[in-house]
Amino acid sequence: MAIEIHAKKDFISGVVELPISKSLCNRALVLQANSRNKISIKTVSKANDTVVLINALKSTCEILNTEDAGTAMRFLTAYYAFSNRSIEIHGSQRMEERPIKALVDALKEIGAFISYLKNDGFPPLKIHAAHQPTKNELTINASISSQFITALLLSIPFHIKNFVLNLEGQISSKPYIDMTLGLLSKIGIESEWQSNSIRITQKEIKPAELQLETDWSAASYFYALTALSLKGQIQLRGLKPDSLQGDAVLAQMFEGHFGVNTVFNAFGACISKSANHALPAKLAIDFNHCPDLAQTMVVLCASLGVELKATGLKSLRIKETDRIQALETELVKFGITTNSTADSLKIKGKINADVGPIKINTYQDHRMAMAFSIIGFIRPVIIENEQVVQKSFPSYFQEFKKVIQ
């Protein structure tokens, strides 16, 4: 299936119902399972990744399928490592290409029994019954994915009350680790950063009802639409200024670079376009700590004609698709010049407001679909396989149409 988008006005307005953050929700669900339901969650995300995780946590089967949900694969690996239960964890074809060796090696270091069912270092996995961890300190490569670190932090403290996690290499997406630690503190698990180590102390799990925020990553597409508009105002429900989410940095980024102002109120964040903001000719942005914003920013800069050098993109190579390659392939269709390395992307040029629609391949990647949809505000585009947004924001295109029509 595909959807054609072409806005017919140069201003936007409306109220957007953002989804609950699946990053927060998936973390909370693992904590809930580990606490044996001492923790309740007020509103659960409807994202497919969350549905997959919920079904896996409830399952009594010996074989689990995480589909294309990266958090489910990583979080469940650590969750079942010391469950004294033998289980297989499978995923989609793309999941079998996404590395998991760093997490598996760390779990083995403290006594887990895990083997690879196909290729070494990649899912699917066989987790063999194990009792308690054999040591209270381990080391992990922190440069590949913060989800490996979060997986350990969500489960190991329930088996070891005093635990030290040493992080080697450049830490990727540190705000996502801080998000995890923030949730842990709400239930009585304290943490302390000591250089590149995290020391965890658990006294007693506190019963808690977690009220989760809406998703700042999802908000980025509406910030981008506002940046493209001549004028406009959008109310984004549920966003908080004191967010646990690292992607909340986008409010500052969009105000400084694109003149999109954010005012928080009782309902969330109200964003609007400054009338006289001058666009930069060039930008250089490091996305190491906010990789989920990279695609939005790349497509926005191409739409505005802002030359961009995006760095810190290493993790994009191992997401739902190779996001750097996918961005280059689709931007070339619009005449944008690109140049990439293993962890960077440079773009130059401006997308023209032509009349003919261009088809966008989404590569089974929800963020490709949402990022490229914003081009529809300046020229027609056809987003193929638009249902891929079910992964994180099922109602995305309904909300999108509300503010552009």
The CA distance from 385 to 363, in Å, is 9
Q: 143-182: per-residue pLDDT in tens?
A: 889 999 999 999 999 999 899 999 999 998 999 999 999 9
Q: Does 2-20+213-404 carry CATH code 3.20.20.70?
A: no
State the first-to-last Cα distance of the chain, in angstroms, to the nearest integer. 21
Helices and strands, number each (H, E), in the chain? 12, 21
- Mean pLDDT on 180-185: 95
**What architecture is domain 22-210?**
Alpha-beta prism (3.65)
> What is the distance of C-alpha 246 from the center of its chain?
10
Contacts of 301 (CB under 8 A, 6+ apart): 283, 307, 308, 347
User: Structure tokens of 180?
Assistant: 């995890």
Domain coordinates in residue numbering, the chain: 2-20+213-404, 22-210
- Average pLDDT of the residues of the chain: 95
> In the prediction, which pLDDT does 298 show?
98
> In the prediction, which pLDDT does 275 show?
82
Catalytic residue (choose from 215, 292, 322, 365): 292
User: Structure tokens of 120?
Assistant: 């070494």
Return the percentage of the chain with pLDDT > 70, whole number: 100
Catalytic residue check, 322: no
3-class secondary-structure state, position 55? helix
The CA distance from 136 to 366, in Å, is 38
The CA distance from 352 to 257, in Å, is 21
User: For 91-213, where are the alpha helices, taking DSSP H only?
Assistant: 101-109, 146-155, 174-186
By DSSP bridging, strand 282-286 and strand 307-311 are parallel
pTM: 0.93
Q: Do domains 2-20+213-404 and 22-210 have the same CATH topology?
A: yes
